[in-house]
Structure 1
Amino acid sequence: MRNLAPLSLLLLSACAVPAATLQTAPLSSKATPMVSPVLASADAADPYSYARPEIARVTHVALDLALDFDARQVSGTAALDILAKTGADTVVLDSNGLEILSVKDRSGTALPYTVGAQQAGKGAPVTVTMGDARTIVITYVARNAEALQWLVPEQTAGGKHPYLLSQGQPTLNRSWIPTQDSPGIRQTWDARITAPQPLTVVMSGLTASPPVAAGAGRRAFRFTMDKPVAPYLIAIAAGDIAFRELGPRTGVWTEPVMLDRAAAELADTEKMVDAAEALYGPYRWGRYDMIVLPPSFPYGGMENPVMTFLTPTFIAGDRSLTGLVAHELAHSWSGNLVTNANWSDSWLNEGVTSYFENRIVEKLYGTRRAEQEAALSFASAEEALAEEGSDAPITALHLAPAQATPDGGAGGIIYDKGAVFMRTVETIVGREKFDAYLRSWFDRHAFQPATSAMFLADIRANLVKGDADLERKLMLDAWVYEPGLPANVARPQASAFAAVDSAAAAYGATGRVSKAAWAGWTTAERMRLLAKLPRDLSQQKLAALDADLGLSQSGNNEILFAWLELALGNRYAPAVPVAEKFLATVGRRKFVAPLFETLMKEGEWGGPIAKRIYADTRSGYHSVTQGTVDRLVLTEK
């Protein structure tokens, strides 16, 4: 697959049209500026979408939908603009559970369509015979959509109104929007959404106009996204939410009772945008707003353009976990601006972004914090390699078909090995030269998808430039296509955690951690200490740790999670009620799944506890979290 770059570039030229072209592409079947069909190489084709973009591709989605909180459904229309090769008379869309009521052309004439067989994890194809039409209007209902989570008032901070949130990545948006749901098929979009008063709706697009009355106690909200984005980046939230400005182009939405805490934690956001622009060029999306969601949100953050979705679990009161915000902001370049064409190259989104995040953190918070967080990331990569095996195919950045599922791969590889690769290149070529290259990469490929082959061809053409010695030093193919860590890996500074590692080493002899030292450590240092402690600890040592460091009462969710994982893995009964409360109030999969997994590994002690807690908490989790934990707790071993 390493020598498939020419085919990949051809496919991308057919599937990725610059923004200006997308916005002005004629809809007439007589004028179709599409590139002739090309062979889709294994490097760029997306096997998890039914779409055939080389024949007919959705370029714009116009939604007109009503939110029904009682029925937990959305209904209305999706008008799709289609760019097709000359003579093409069908278009294939992705759907998962949608009830399609009709398909018509722009004039209202019914168009024939078929819904194919449902496949697990992929949904069903919708094939529309469009003839000469280049706009089709689909009337539909989305019930029980996997992407959407409907919360009752008791699940919100305010406790008075219901709430809706979405999570579309990787392929869940096909459960509420009928379109071609593949990361390489970029689409502009607009939306009109009606919701019952007094709820407010936000989306991952710019607000097109103020809300207006829509009859029967409802209001209509309008949004637009004039930049072509991956379909998974269309996002929505609705509830009792308020806005606080943070800077000229930044602000935060959240429930009113959360607004002061959220705004205080996010006070550095405008500076983050400035720092990111200084590194890799202009922020191209207009505003950078965020919404801090209820705790059931399954991820730390989601980089939806214009409206980053955030978990409240990052609020620690001291901005020590705002690397999460830097990460989601960095996606405005790596992920949203340049997107992986399919799921085998997720590292192009997450690995590059993790590197970029660390550079933003360094600019705002200094070298010490950045080096410590980079060292934690490196340790995560090593942990993934130890768990998977350093020669396992899943430890290559470019994933083989067996691992390249939409939610596949290992985070320690996609995120952390990817970031280590970027730091290694920086170390070898020099920061100034590498920064100039990355900025040029984002400029050359703005609003386009990319593959590993495409990235390596680009770095060779624009950074290596035929320098055989530099090519040898970089070991590019080994990093991307081979498992493990290549010999040229840039390791973190040994001094980053010198004091903490010394304390961890001494713990084996003393069984205690200095309260004074712990009080003066950063969050990264505290996490390092907990990770370095022996995994097998007595009940007495666990009790002393908790008493000395106040771990069960920590207001930092990363610290609390690390403590609970250690304590439950040692069958420490006093940690059970703390874990039960934590799991009942937090839906972030990063925390929830490992704790249930830890309990289940503890057999007759932990298994019944896990099943009891999950029976009470499952309904409060998003489908993303449910799917993972179901396999851990409900599947018979």
Structure 2
Amino acid sequence: MTLIKNLFTLLTLSLLTFACTGILPEQKEEVQPQQKLEVQAKENGDAHSYANIKEIKTQHLHLDLEVDFNDKIIFGVARHTMLNMGTDTAIFDVSGLDIQRVTIGKTNEVETDYIIGEEKGEQGAPLAVQITDTTTHINIYYKTTEASNALDWLAPSMTEGKVHPFLYTQGQAILTRTWIPLQDTPANRITYSADLTVPKDLIALMSATNPTEKNAEGKYHFEMDQAIPCYLIALAVGDIAYASLGENCGVYSEPSLIEVVKYEFADLPKMIEAAENLYGKYQWEVYDVLVLPYSFPFGGMENPRLTFANPTLIAGDRSSTSVIAHELAHSWSGNLVTNATWDDFWLNEGFTVYFENRIMESIYGKEIADMLALVEFQELKHTLAKMAASEHPEDSRLKLDLDKRRPDDGMTDIAYVKGAFFLKTLEDTVGREAFDIFLNKYFETHKFQTLTTEEFISYLNKELLTPAGIKFNTEEWIYENGLPANCKEISSNRFELAEENAKAIAEGNTKQLKSLQRDTYVMQEWLAFLRTLDGQDIDTNLMAKLDAHCEFTHWGNAEIAEEWYGLAIKTGYMPVKDELEAFLMKVGRRKFLEPLYEALIAGKHEGLNKEFALEIFEKAKDNYHAVSATTLREMLDI
């Protein structure tokens, strides 16, 4: 890999950080020659990891850690049980960690030598450990630092209860290495266990077996017996309550929210049943959802056994539950069958968006599912237009090349929605029955495995297209820019009617305007309505009339709020300013922050422009997780 080769060339020329145990300086070159580091690292097949997993790889990880809210650190030991194919060096990924010592051995630990290379941005550094060719147990003693970007330490003021602090992790794509030293590539699946000590008035939860109530000692044990990629190791610590929704599912949240969360996600058992009816038995025993504080940067994160969810999903009317259907679908696509590298990210997300839509269709009907798909397709077209004019138009391909770039650069609508429409088009071509048979076999054949795009193409041809004698433009969909001409088209009369009403109101139809009420549409229709207005020539007078009829500025649904605030920025509708600022100060979900900051940066109205964006960011930056803050700093050029 070019990235890894360049890194180790630099390491050879630069000063390395050595941590040695009684070894004389003249012996250090013998401990770990840089040439060996280069050779081992570049052969792992993942441009975003230094780990030499083809020579030695973790099979099980045990964490023995203490969570210290006073100093905002996690400290302890990561114990790796490894499959050693005969190497004398084990390379791990680390970033923002204070490595204190490394030992080898299971019961009688012996200190060993190690080298930490120079940190290179988000990718971090290689931690190369000296071992013997029979070593199978490596123990890394460490503590986190302020640079551990997976960790979001929240003061009580940033929680719903305002009394206790809160901590959560976000590991995808390559941030798990900022709180655990490990081989941070999705190509290597591991089991893990943990013993955690936390403040006695808080509870700890992980993507593993979980307690449902606090204990008096503040000590918790966790087991994840199914092998997962490291980005799915997750932790949350806080004042958290639990409510059951059924035999194998429930919800966690801060105590004051537990009843509204329970109501909002009441359909979760139906979703699990629908998913199993489509693509086979749920493989993770329990499916729980934890609603985090507002700083969480995503709508949801599919940590196995414990999906993390953003409180913006709590709309009061269950209108945003498709996100939960999405995270549940990840229990098959992403968690059960995983992209081997971040260049293959569409294998996780394209399948999941497709599967999510099938779950929603099963429970709520085709009309709702089609409107959800149309909302996503609108977002895809917007992304495609931006990419075509960008410095990376090739990012509109499903198979990416993110060498020398951040994996997050590939987390766009391309992977999610173009990927889903590729599968929808396949389904339309071969027929739903045949496609469902194919997908069931796909998940069963590759469960608890990782897959590259090329391996998927080979499997698709062998199991579906070739036996049926079907020719399909797979290569065009995956390796070429843009959207192929044979992309499946979806239509919705309700969606189109909402768009027509928006155009009529923009043209001055007062009768249509006066008939407008909040309950006129479901959320997807409102999104179609507002997005259509965005393409019309409207002024602040019409904005005021719309606001008077529907109170958009004070609407509790975050999806609708984001569209309305964007429209207000474009038209210069100043009455939203205070609510917009409050929204951007409170919400950390990147999906909402990016378009609103982008609109402000391009804003032409005094008070709703880049100056205002910079002012808000300066006040809000500590409320955002590093994932969102990094994206916004790049946008604001600060």
CA contact (8 A) 1:276 1:360 kept: yes
- The 3-state SS of whatever aligns with 1:465 is helix
Secondary structure class of the residue paired with 2:274: helix
Instruction: After TM superposition, list the pairs within 5 Å mapping 1:222-371 onto structure 2.
Output: 222-371=221-370
Instruction: Tell me the equivalent position of 2:169.
Output: 166
CA distance in 1, matches of 2:421, 2:516: 29
Looking at structure 1, the residues matched to 611 and 509 of structure 2 have their Cα atoms a distance apart, in angstroms, of 31
Question: Counterpart of 2:489?
Answer: 491
- Range that drifts further, 584-593 or 603-612: 603-612
Q: How does 1:192-231 map to 2 (within 5 A)?
A: 192-207=195-210, 214=217, 219-231=218-230
The whole-number CA distance in structure 1 between the counterparts of 2:203 and 2:591 is: 29
Partner of 2:71: 71
For residues 359-382 of structure 1, the C-alpha deviation after alignment (integer angstroms, 9 at most, x for no partner) is 000111111100111111222222
Q: Tell me the distance in 1 between the aligned counterparts of 2:438 and 2:43.
A: 23
SS in 2 for 1:232: helix
Describe the SS at the equivalent of 2:507: helix
Structure 1 segment 371-410 matched on structure 2, within 5 A:
371-389=370-388, 392-401=393-402, 405-409=406-410
How far has the Cα of 1:184 moved from its partner?
A: 1.2
- Mapped to 2, the partners of 1:200 and 1:288 lie a distance apart of 18
Give the drift of 1:520. Answer: 2.5
2:160 to 152, 157, 175: 157
Distance in structure 2 (CA, Å) of the matches to 1:224 and 1:515: 58
Measure the CA separation in 2 of the matches of 1:525 and 1:576.
25
In structure 2, relative to structure 1, the CA distance for the partners of 1:375 and 1:496 (3 Å cut) is farther
Aligned-partner Cα distance in 1 for 2:520–2:585: 31
The size of the alignment, in residue pairs, is: 589
Equivalent position of 1:4 in the other structure: none
Instruction: Give per-residue Cα distances to partners, 1:325-358, cap 9 Å, x unaligned.
Output: 0000000000000110111111111111001000
Distance in 2 between residues matched to 1:411 and 1:511, nearest whole Å: 37
Following TM superposition, by how much is the alpha carbon of 1:481 offset from its aligned partner in structure 2, in angstroms?
Answer: 0.9
What CA distance in whole angstroms lies between the structure 1 residues aligned with 2:82 and 2:411?
35
Contact 1:81 1:134 in 2 (8 A): yes
Q: What amino acid is aligned across from residue 164 of structure 1 in structure 2? A: L
Opposite residue 194 of structure 2, the aligned amino acid is A
Mapped partners of 1:112, 1:212: distance in 2: 39
- Residue matched to 1:478: 476
- Cα distance, 1:211 vs. partner? 6.5
> Which piece of structure 1 moves more, 125-134 or 279-288?
125-134
Q: Which residue of 2 aligns with 1:142?
A: 144
Alpha-carbon distance between aligned partners in 2 of 1:121 and 1:386, rounded to the nearest angstrom? 28
The alpha-carbon distance between structure 1 residues 158 and 275, as it changes in their structure 2 partners (threshold 3 A), is same
Q: Which amino acid aligns with 1:227?
A: Q
CA-to-partner distance for each residue in 1:237-266, whole Å, 9 max, x for gaps?
011110000010000010010001100000
Q: Structure 2: where are the runs of 5+ without partners?
A: 1-38
Distance 2:599 2:509 in 1: 23
8 Å Cα contact 1:50/1:93 also seen in 2: yes
The equivalent residue for 1:424 is 425
* Structure 2 residue aligned with 1:628: 631
1:18-97 aligned within 5 A: 45-85=45-85, 87-97=86-96
Q: Secondary structure at the match of 1:121?
A: helix
Q: Residues of 2 paired with 1:147 and 1:120: CA distance?
A: 14
Measured in 2, the distance between the counterparts of 1:209 and 1:387 equals: 45
Contact 1:246–1:263 (Cα < 8 Å) also in 2: yes
Letter in 2 for 1:460: N
Q: Structure 2-normalised TM-score?
A: 0.89
| Deviation of the 1:504 alpha carbon | 2.4
How far does residue 210 in structure 1 lie from its aligned partner after superposition?
8.2
Query: 1:42, CA displacement in angstroms?
Result: 10
CA shift digits 1:271-301 (9 cap, x unpaired): 1001000000010001000100111111100
Distance between the aligned counterparts of 2:68 and 2:160, measured in 1? 21
The 1-side partners of 2:630 and 2:76 are apart by: 28
**Counterparts in 2 of 1:235 and 1:410: CA distance versus 1, 3 Å:** closer
For 1:286 and 1:413, how far apart are their aligned partners in 2? 31
The offset of 1:98, in angstroms, is: 0.8
Contact (CA 8 Å) 1:384, 1:410: kept in 2 or not?
no
1:462-502: CA deviation from partner (whole Å, max 9, x where unpaired): 1113444x12xx21111111111112111112535121122
d(CA) in 1 for partners of 2:42, 2:431: 34
Structure 1 residue ranges (4+ consecutive) displaced by more than 6 angstroms after TM superposition: 39-44, 208-211
Whichever residue aligns with residue 319 of structure 2, its letter is S
Deviations 1:494-516 (A, max 9, x none): 53512112212323322655454
| SS at 1:126 equivalent | strand
Partner deviation per Cα, 1:410-453 (whole Å, 9 max, x = no partner): 62211111111111111111111101101110000001111111
Structure-2 change in CA distance of 1:551 and 1:303 (3 Å): same
> Which residue of the partner structure matches residue 180 of structure 1?
183
For 1:159 and 1:253, the matched residues in 2 are separated by 17
Quote the Cα distance in structure 2 between the aligned partners of 1:620 and 1:487.
43
Gap change, CA 1:40 and 1:503, over 3 Å in 2: farther
Distance 1:508 1:348 in 2: 41
Deviations, residues 185-223 of structure 1 (Å, cap 9, x unaligned) = 111100011101110111100138986655xxxx11011
SS in 2 for 1:400: coil
Matched letter for residue 505 of structure 2: Y
Aligned partner letter, 2:64: D
Are 1:245 and 1:251, in contact at CA under 8 Å, matched by a contact in 2?
yes
1:55 maps to a residue whose letter is: E
Contact 1:209 1:221 in 2 (8 A): no
Match of 1:459 in 2: 460
Give the direction of change, closer, same or farther, for the CA distance of 1:515–1:419 in structure 2 (3 Å limit).
farther
Q: Distance in 2 between matches of 1:608 and 1:183?
A: 40
**CA distance in 1 between partners of 2:60 and 2:318 (Å):** 38
* Amino acid paired to 2:571: N
Task: Give the Cα separation in 2 of the matches to 1:574 and 1:625.
Answer: 26
